[in-house]
Amino acid sequence: MSDQRTMDLEVLARMAARLAGRNPDEHLTLSLGGVIPFDGPVWRYPDFITRAESAYRALTAASLTVPAALDEQEEPTAADLGLSQG
C-alpha cells in the first residue's frame, strides 16, 4: 500500500470515528471473555478502517455518476447515490 493511500485511509477512518461520535485518538481496549481482540486508537478500530476503505474506493472510482432522476437544483443524498448510512 502506498504511503499516500495509507495517509488517506487514516484521514477517512478518523472522520468515520468522529462522525460516529468518537474521539479518533481515544484509546480503546476491547475485551471479550478475557480475549483482547482490539487495543489501540479508536480510528484504527476495524469498523472505521472498513468504512475508510469503502469511502476511498468510492472517491477514487474512475467515474462518479449522479442518477439522472435527481433534480439539478437539489443536492444528492447518500440514499440517492446508493450509499448506506450508519
CA distance 52 to 55: 5
Flag whether pLDDT at 21 surpasses 70.
Answer: yes
State residue 61's pLDDT score. Answer: 84
Structure confidence at residue 45 as a pLDDT band (50, 70, 90): very high
H helices present in the chain, as ranges = 3-19, 46-59
Residue 42 DSSP one-character state: G
> How many CB atoms sit inside 10 A of residue 70's CB?
13
Percent with pLDDT over 90 in the chain: 64
Give the mean pLDDT of 62-81: 60
> How many CB atoms sit inside 10 A of residue 34's CB?
5
Q: Per this entry, what is the length of the chain?
A: 86
26 vs 66: which has the higher pLDDT: 26
CA distance 70 to 65: 11
